[in-house]
Structure 1
Amino acid sequence: MKYISALLSHLRPVQMLLSTLLCTMLFFASGFSTLAAKNIPTKGTVQLDKIEQKAQKAIDSPAMSLETIEKRSQGGLNEVQGDADRDKMNSSNDPKLPVVKQAEKALSNIQKS
């Protein structure tokens, strides 16, 4: 029993050293992530400012007619943002909803088997 207590008494300085090292690493890790966040480009805020201006303009103007809305909707799904992320948008000429497509595919698979 004395051997275990002697061993534990020798490990206390090691435990303190390891806990101090861990706290120091956590401190520096949190500081470096903050520095990395400051270097992020702010181009996205410019687009958001333009969107906000368009939204404010739409709020201040009177209600649009149906023809005006239809003309504006011809621009695509993401009409408010203009060409922002146009390559990421998913638009197809197929009028069926994805759920309907999946249901038809599942039914055809069932009929095949």
Structure 2
Amino acid sequence: MKIIASVLSIFRPVRFLVVAFTCALILLSNTFPAFAIDSYQSDTTEGTTQLLDIQRKTDEAAKEPPAGLRKVQKESNEGLNEVQGAADIDKQKRPENSQGSTSVEENVKNFLGKVTGN
């Protein structure tokens, strides 16, 4: 029993450091999302035009009988899929536009190489 008490008394300063580190981590994790405010601020009318077009297509589709296979294939071939069409196609990641990007594994290797000095 005395051994446990002596071990616990040794960890008393470490316990303070663990609590201080935890409090700092909580404080920083709650503070950093506020930095997202400085990121790109979209225009309020930016998405409205696309949504109105989608709403128009939805209303037209609701008034008509179900679309045939040829019509669905034609609309699907115009973009990513039938619903989205080509909306924001330049912002989406695809194999064609991401050849120069690095994988997570490569990023980790680069980071570890910098840390270890290799």
TM-score by length of 1: 0.45
Task: Kindly indicate whether structure 1 or structure 2 has the higher relative contact order, using CA contacts under 8 Å at least 6 residues apart.
Answer: 1
State TM-score, norm by structure 2: 0.44
Higher Cα Rg, which structure? 1
